[in-house]
Structure 1
């Protein structure tokens, strides 16, 4: 299992006891599916397209509650101005138990193979993983679900089973690449006014090149302190698959490649067909506690 140490005490507190505000927003995804990109867009929607020199890093503006390393003092979120936005890599049934229908949830998904390849370079690049195996080994682990927050397909299924809820918005990485402004125009999930006049600026500041230049979004401090030389956190914007990965053993036209087939499966914690159990969550299990991933 490719995992890193996790603060289990913090995770259990956030999952079981932490109380969100009614207007809190969560951006969730399987790792390497477009989380940072979506954080940037949502942050800009709330700031009306403005980035100030005094602004902290993106991950301080939209923190990850489960990460006790980057957020050692959870109480700092109490001073954040509403509406607050948080990041999560949890499957649906491991979100904070006290979330309500008033909270807005955004789930970002990306194709399995691109996610796996991106996750390989993520894992290989961070020193904390101490992982130096070839990509072929990682792809095998990914397909078997032996990676952080895996299996990928179960993670997707847990969220997509809830897609009809009025407070959930599902976004697709590939569609965001084609027309980012269209994906967010008119969205009500954030409860923020999205002025069409700001569309162009928000889209420009959310491009790979723009985010790469800004140390607050490119995570240059991570690159200097936590990443191996030549392995930046923000690595690529185009699809990860191509000539250099075409040799990987990945079945074509299989359930593993089809998000539609995955989403049609019943997911752990999905009680959508049973009104009496609809809002129940699975009890926290040690195998269900995710590990630290950026």
Structure 2
């Protein structure tokens, strides 16, 4: 007989969902949309890594664009002129993404970049380029509390044709998220894998909530890890430039030009708040979500914060 914990988890993972991703497929038992095809995932494993590369490893909707802009500016000595002229998705390509309409083929863009390259990926540790283990490259892993990730992902699913313009309920999406039935698969498995790399000297864990609490301090930490002792005025300007409100208004970071995102439904950079989950979770949903998180990750003691108060 199942104990209560297993029974509640089974209730989630035995659900079926009507929504289908455009071109959805399984790769190593992980669900992907058609913009991350199997041949690209195969090619990512053989991607030529350089010692001066910096990888941005995040689960979708964890604050990826924010960390990309911060890191690119730090590694390029505060080159704001270029930052205001070229979209972040070309300066810091999405490694496993292939969209010929957008002319964004991550592997090709990354291969053509001049060093230092800042490369974004939503892949789990197991699917990252093999050479990362043998190079002196850096990896920044961005974590965000899963309730805010789930809510942000829900709105992104609704707004983006890349995900098939989801029209299901919030509750349905919450179960899809818990089940890993979303693009790039389970947040829980992703988090377990990258948390296991936290002692690697070339890997730095960054928490979204820390960026929100004291961005200027986090810029200092990033500079130290990346070996970029920038002058204080440059660090201060990077922090100012990368305030969420400024990035939301910046055409080079807000993705307003991307055809697949209907910003009238939800822009890519939506609220950027810590604790926005409280606006949509019911008490019962919050309790079930908490229990699921505890069952899956409780033994790891990852210091997620769900509010800043």
Between 122-131 and 84-93, the greater mean CA deviation after superposition: 122-131
CA distance in structure 2 between the partners assigned to 1:209 and 1:171 by the alignment: 20
User: Given the alignment of the two structures, is residue 21 of structure 1 paired with residue 72 of structure 2, yes or no?
Assistant: no
Q: CA offsets per residue over residues 212-258 of structure 1, 9 Å max, x none?
A: 11111000112x55326332111112132124434561326535069
Partner SS state of residue 217, structure 1: coil
**CA, structure 1 residues 233+199, in 2 after alignment: closer, same or farther (shift >3 Å)?**
same
Q: Which has the higher contact order (CA 8 A, sep 6+)?
A: 1
Aligned to 2:291: 254
Q: CA offsets per residue over residues 190-209 of structure 1, 9 Å max, x none?
A: 23233222222111110111
Give 1:72 deviation, angstroms: 3.0
TM-score after normalising by structure 2: 0.77
Match of 1:122 among 156, 180, 198: 156
User: 5+ unaligned residues in a row in structure 1: which ranges?
Assistant: 266-294
Aligned to 1:63: 93
Aligned to 2:73: 44
Q: CA offsets per residue over residues 95-142 of structure 1, 9 Å max, x none?
A: 101112401000000011110000000111102322100111100111
CA distance in structure 2 between the partners assigned to 1:91 and 1:74 by the alignment: 17
Aligned to 2:230: 194
CA distance in structure 1 between the partners assigned to 2:159 and 2:236 by the alignment: 33
Between 244-253 and 20-29, the greater mean CA deviation after superposition: 244-253
Give 1:66 deviation, angstroms: 0.9
The aligned runs of 1:153-232 (5 Å cut-off) are 153-187=188-222, 188-222=224-258, 225-227=260-262, 229-232=264-267
CA distance in structure 2 between the partners assigned to 1:101 and 1:168 by the alignment: 12
CA distance in structure 2 between the partners assigned to 1:263 and 1:29 by the alignment: 18
Give 1:50 deviation, angstroms: 3.4
Counting helix residues as a fraction of each chain, which structure ranks higher?
2
**CA, structure 1 residues 112+226, in 2 after alignment: closer, same or farther (shift >3 Å)?**
closer
Q: State the aligned residue count.
A: 263
Considering only aligned residues, what root-mean-square deviation do their CA atoms show, in Å? 2.4
Aligned to 1:133: 168
User: 5+ unaligned residues in a row in structure 2: which ranges?
Assistant: 1-16, 22-32, 303-309
Aligned to 2:124: 91
